[in-house]
């Protein structure tokens, strides 16, 4: 039964995709011949002006360009022209660095807040003020003080991924069932041991949910940050192709950003399943 459901869902997905591509193709088809111009003049003009080609690329154009990128993902033609694989690599490396720094800060701090009602109340105002700040609002300040664009991008990733993890860890730790803690207390388990053997496993699913939200936000932010500071990364690639008004490449970059974001999310979803326990 489930198998046939899966099959049917796949068929529907494929039909939707096919329909989308067909509609896209029809909508972007060129209108054929446009105004008459002398051959000398036409030679200086682009296809949009001479053949009435739509400014929006069609699906086959995007497909062909995508294949070109996939064939050569790691070429390096100097500082401003690197393969899509290298650009994605830079972005992932930045996200990972900022994100891991955030994990190192958020989880211990979240534990502290979750276990101590005093710290919870004391730090709450700071967290409430800092949490809603758009990550990109930090960018000028970071550039100005850190004086290094690459580190600034990492800092922005750090600052935006720290809050969901911190709040989820604190919440997970605070809401561990009292009976379990009381049992541990009755058995005279020390504080450190209690934290690692009782609270951590019990709070792990909530913590990982926070981490999963954070990685999603980090991946959203990196593209915008790289468009702003430039240099390398998928965000820079989008900006560079936008300068060139190459919508084909912009579409390809959007597709890649979506795919990588999904992969990152899936990895954390798998971790979450690993630590989830049946009650």
Size of the residue set binding another protein (CB under 8 A): 36
Does position 40 interact with another protein (CB under 8 A)? The reply is: yes
In angstroms, the CA 158 to CA 164 distance is 11
Please list, in sequence order, all residues whose beta carbon lies within 8 angstroms of the beta carbon of residue 125, skipping any fewer than 6 positions away. Answer: none
- Of the pair 124, 148, the CB lying nearest another protein is at 148
Give the nearest distance from C-beta 106 to another protein in angstroms.
Answer: 29
- Of the pair 11, 55, the CB lying nearest another protein is at 55
Contacting another protein (CB under 8 A), which of 84, 159, 229, 253?
229
Stretch that binds another protein, among 18-26, 105-113, 156-164, 232-240 (CB under 8 A): 232-240
Does position 245 interact with another protein (CB under 8 A)? The reply is: yes
Does position 31 interact with another protein (CB under 8 A)? The reply is: no
Does position 227 interact with another protein (CB under 8 A)? The reply is: yes
Three state DSSP letters for the chain: CHHHHHHHHHHHHHHHHHHHHHHHHHHCCCCCCCCCCCHHHHCCCCHHHHHCCCCCCCHHHHHHHHHHHHHCCCCECCCCCECHHHHHHHHHHHHHHHHHHHHHHHHHHHHHHHHCHHHHHHHHHHHHHHCCCCHHHHHHHHHHHHCCHHHHHHHHHHHHHHHHHHHHHHHHHHCCCHHHHHHHHHCCCCHHHHHHHHHHHHHHHHHHHHHHHHHHHHHHHHHHHHHHHCCCCHHHHHHHHHHCCCHHHHHHHHHHHHHHHHHHHHHHHHHHHHHCCCC
Give the nearest distance from C-beta 139 to another protein in angstroms.
Answer: 10
- Of the pair 34, 123, the CB lying nearest another protein is at 34
Contacting another protein (CB under 8 A), which of 32, 78, 125, 278?
78
Stretch that binds another protein, among 18-26, 122-130, 207-215, 234-242 (CB under 8 A): 234-242
Give the nearest distance from C-beta 230 to another protein in angstroms.
Answer: 4
Does position 244 interact with another protein (CB under 8 A)? The reply is: yes
Does position 68 interact with another protein (CB under 8 A)? The reply is: no
Contact residues toward another protein (CB under 8 A) are: 34, 37-38, 40-41, 43-46, 48-49, 55, 77-81, 143-144, 147-149, 227-231, 236, 239-246
């Amino acid at each position: 039964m489930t198998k046939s459901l899966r099959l049917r869902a796949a068929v529907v997905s494929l039909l939707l995709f096919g329909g989308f591509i067909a509609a896209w193709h029809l909508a972007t088809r060129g209108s054929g011949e446009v105004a008459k111009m002398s051959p000398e003049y036409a030679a200086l003009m682009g296809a949009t002006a001479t053949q009435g080609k739509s400014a929006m690329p069609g699906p086959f154009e995007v497909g062909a360009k995508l294949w070109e990128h996939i064939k050569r993902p790691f070429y390096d033609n100097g500082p401003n022209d690197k393969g899509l694989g290298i650009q994605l690599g830079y972005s992932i490396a930045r996200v990972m660095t900022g994100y891991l720094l955030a994990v190192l800060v958020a989880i211990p701090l979240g534990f502290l807040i979750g276990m101590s009602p005093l710290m919870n109340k004391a730090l709450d105002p700071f967290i409430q003020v800092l949490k809603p700040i758009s990550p990109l609002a930090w960018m000028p300040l970071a550039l100005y003080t850190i004086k290094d664009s690459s580190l600034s991008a990492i800092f922005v990733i750090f600052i935006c991924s720290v809050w969901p993890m911190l709040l989820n860890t604190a919440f997970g730790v605070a809401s561990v069932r009292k009976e379990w803690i009381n049992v541990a207390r009755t058995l005279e388990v020390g504080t450190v041991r209690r934290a690692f053997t009782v609270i951590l496993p019990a709070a792990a699913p909530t913590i990982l949910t926070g981490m999963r939200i954070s990685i999603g936000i980090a991946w959203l932010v990196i593209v915008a940050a790289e468009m702003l500071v430039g240099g390398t990364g998928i965000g820079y690639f989008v900006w560079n192709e936008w300068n060139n008004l190459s919508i084909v490449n912009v579409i390809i970059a959007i597709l890649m950003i979506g795919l990588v974001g999904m992969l990152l999310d899936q990895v954390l979803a798998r971790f979450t399943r690993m630590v989830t326990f049946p009650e």
